[in-house]
């Protein structure tokens, strides 16, 4: 019988104001914390987090995140953690700050807590961390051995962030079911431990993520644009963070992220968020796998309505040459790229051609909607 595996965070808590409860969740598992926090929140959150932890008997040392999740940044945080004897590393901020905190905790053999301040990726719940070069180019993934012990999502913080972050998170979450299906059909292993077959629970969660996006995504955007916290917004925060995180880790990713990773080699894409590039990768995935037109149209309309990139021009690649696309195809074919879990035969040319075709189909869809 095929072995199957499932993993996830120990605790997930979401709602307005829950950051005030951080100390109550940390105190039972650690008495000393290293807090890796995005520079933007240094002045506004450090005093309250420090006070909240101290009130529960937890000492803390704070590190201002350097802005890029590099090996050097991880090493700096590890050194701070060793110096303070941290029993837990708490990441506060965006996905790269959280990844840095998770990887630092892995090297310190410390517990992990994540406090996302934006809902733009599914990094907060996963056991994986991504390392980039100093220039922001994807380098490699680090498997941290276990998921965070605590994921605390303060929706009041999330709704204060520019709405582009929430939309980017929906772009990332949009890939969850499509990529889960790739892995289920190709019988690829998931990311639990050394890899197992997906459980029924993992597959259902991935599908639920898609269903929530289609039902609540547009309503959530309308509310979030005015800073309103509605049930739809809370549902989308959960979809972007928990459902997407559990879905991708328990089922796997494929060409949407594989195209994203290869596209990071083209400098113009560095100005776009992870989820924005993944959204374009979703369109490429559907073309690459030859999915039915109605699926492609549903994904395109969703992205267009939300303002997510669907064409090369949308990603600053209007002038991309055949050589550029060929190089992206070659990079995507690297043995370490996640694209290989698609249930179709791949070549560098088929990837490059799918990227071009996805962009052209999106242009035609946009033109048709305008008419």
For domain 4-159, give its CATH number from 3.30.930.10, 3.40.47.40, 3.30.300.160, 3.40.50.1970: 3.40.50.1970
The ranges of the chain annotated as CATH 3.40.50.1970 are 4-159
Which CATH class name applies to 162-370? Answer: mainly alpha
Say if pTM beats, i.e. exceeds, 0.85. Answer: yes
DSSP string, 321-362: -HHHHHHHHHHHTSTTSGGGGSSS---HHHHHHHHHHHHHHH
- Work out the burial of residue 345: count CB atoms within 10 Å of its CB; fewer than 13 is exposed, 13-18 middle, 19 or more buried: exposed
Q: What is the pLDDT along the chain (371 residues), one digit of tens a residue?
A: 489 999 999 999 999 999 999 999 999 999 999 999 999 999 999 999 999 999 999 999 999 999 999 999 999 999 999 999 999 999 999 999 999 999 999 999 999 999 999 999 888 999 999 899 998 877 888 999 899 999 999 999 999 999 999 999 999 999 999 999 999 999 999 999 889 999 999 999 999 999 999 999 999 999 999 999 999 999 999 999 999 999 999 999 999 999 999 998 899 998 999 999 999 999 999 999 999 999 999 999 999 999 999 999 999 999 999 999 999 999 999 999 999 999 999 999 999 999 999 999 999 999 988 77
Q: Which token pair is 161? A: 């962030």
| Cα 245 to Cα 206: distance, rounded to the nearest angstrom | 9
Strand partners, 62: 35
What pLDDT, on the 0 to 100 scale, is given for residue 34?
A: 98
The ranges of the chain annotated as CATH 1.20.1090.10 are 162-370
Tell me how long the chain is: 371
| Cα 95 to Cα 67: distance, rounded to the nearest angstrom | 10
Q: Please list, in sequence order, all residues whose beta carbon lies within 8 angstroms of the beta carbon of residue 320, skipping any fewer than 6 positions away.
A: 266, 312
* pLDDT (tens digit per residue) in 226-254: 999 999 999 999 999 999 999 999 999 99
DSSP classification of residue 199: P
* pLDDT (tens digit per residue) in 1-53: 489 999 999 999 999 999 999 999 999 999 999 999 999 999 999 999 999 99
Q: Which token pair is 227? A: 């800073």
| Cα 267 to Cα 269: distance, rounded to the nearest angstrom | 5
| Cα 282 to Cα 260: distance, rounded to the nearest angstrom | 9
Write out the catalytic residue numbers. 172, 257, 260, 274
What pLDDT, on the 0 to 100 scale, is given for residue 139?
A: 87
């Amino acid at each position: 019988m095929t072995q199957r595996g499932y993993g996830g965070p120990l605790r997930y808590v979401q709602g307005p104001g829950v950051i005030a409860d951080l100390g109550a969740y940390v105190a039972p598992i650690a008495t000393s914390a290293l807090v890796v926090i995005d520079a933007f929140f240094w002045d506004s959150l450090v005093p309250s987090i420090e006070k909240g932890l101290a009130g529960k008997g937890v000492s803390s040392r704070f590190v201002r995140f350097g802005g890029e999740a590099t090996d050097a940044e991880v090493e700096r945080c590890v050194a701070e953690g060793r110096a303070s004897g941290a029993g837990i590393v708490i990441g506060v901020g965006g996905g790269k700050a959280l990844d840095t905190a998770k990887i630092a905790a892995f090297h310190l053999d410390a517990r992990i807590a994540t406090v996302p301040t934006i809902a733009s990726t599914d990094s907060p719940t996963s056991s994986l961390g991504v390392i980039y070069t100093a220039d922001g180019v994807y380098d490699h993934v680090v498997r941290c051995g276990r998921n965070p012990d605590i994921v605390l999502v303060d929706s009041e913080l999330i709704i204060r962030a520019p709405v582009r972050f929430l939309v980017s998170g929906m772009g990332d979450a949009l890939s969850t079911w499509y990529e889960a299906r790739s892995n289920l059909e190709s019988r690829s292993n998931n990311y639990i431990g050394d890899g197992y077959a997906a459980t029924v629970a993992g597959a259902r969660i991935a599908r639920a993520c898609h269903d929530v996006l289609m039902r609540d995504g547009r309503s959530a955007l309308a509310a979030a644009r005015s800073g309103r916290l509605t049930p739809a917004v809370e549902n989308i925060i959960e979809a972007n963070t928990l459902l997407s995180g559990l879905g991708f880790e328990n089922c796997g990713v494929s060409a949407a992220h594989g195209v994203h990773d290869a596209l990071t080699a083209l400098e113009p894409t560095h100005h776009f968020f992870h989820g924005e590039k993944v959204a374009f990768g979703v369109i490429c995935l559907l073309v690459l796998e030859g999915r039915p037109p109605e699926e492609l149209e549903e994904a395109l309309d969703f992205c267009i309505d939300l303002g997510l990139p669907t064409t090369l021009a949308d990603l600053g690649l209007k002038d991309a040459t055949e050589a550029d696309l060929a190089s992206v195809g070659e990079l995507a074919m690297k043995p370490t790229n996640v694209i290989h879990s698609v249930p179709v035969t791949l070549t560098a040319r088929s990837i490059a051609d799918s990227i071009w075709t996805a962009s052209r189909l999106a242009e035609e869809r946009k033109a048709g909607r305008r008419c």
